[in-house]
Amino acid sequence: MFTANKSNQGKSKRITAIGLLIASALGGFALLQVPVSAQKTPDVILYEGQNFTGRAIRLTKGVDSLGRFNNKTSSIKVLNNQRWQFWAKENKKGYSIVLSPGNYPSINLNNDIESLKGLK
């Protein structure tokens, strides 16, 4: 029994070492696969509650409807270097606000946003 355990330990150590090799190889591959432009993809995070609380969704591009997240957003983080426009209605209609990159613990369109778009 003792011998068998010892041999199993050796085996699992070897498997771990191979796993690390594969992981680092894949990691290098993944890094090479990320286009430079993707690293600058603008992101926006919408939070259900004020002060960045509650459920949140992160978007890398605009949408015509937030679906179940319509009329729920109460705080926003605009990341990277892009302004975003937010509308009170679906399909970019109704009252809108434009936010520059930054953190907004509360917003004018509280519980009203339904669509949004990143601005050039």
Q: Look at residue 2 and give its three-state secondary structure.
A: helix
Indicate the residue among 104 and 114 with the shorter CB distance to Ca ion.
114
Indicate the residue among 71 and 96 with the shorter CB distance to Ca ion.
71
Q: Would you call 64 exposed, middle or buried from its count of C-beta atoms within 10 A (0-12, 13-18, 19+)?
A: middle
Indicate the residue among 86 and 114 with the shorter CB distance to Ca ion.
114
Give the one residue of 112, 116, 117, 118 binding Ca ion; rule: CB under 5 A.
112
Asked if residue 74 binds Ca ion (CB under 5 A), the reply is yes
Indicate the residue among 72 and 117 with the shorter CB distance to Ca ion.
72
CB of 99: closest distance to Ca ion in angstroms? 16
DSSP 4-50: HHHHHHHHHHHHHHHHHHHHHHHHHHHHHHS-HHHHT--EEEEEEET
CB atoms within 10 A of CB 74: 22
- For residues 9-38, which are near Ca ion according to CB under 5 A? none
Q: Name which of 32, 106, 99 is nearest 75 in CA terms.
A: 106
Asked if residue 75 binds Ca ion (CB under 5 A), the reply is no
For Ca ion, the binding residues (CB under 5 A) are 48, 71-72, 74, 88, 111-112, 114
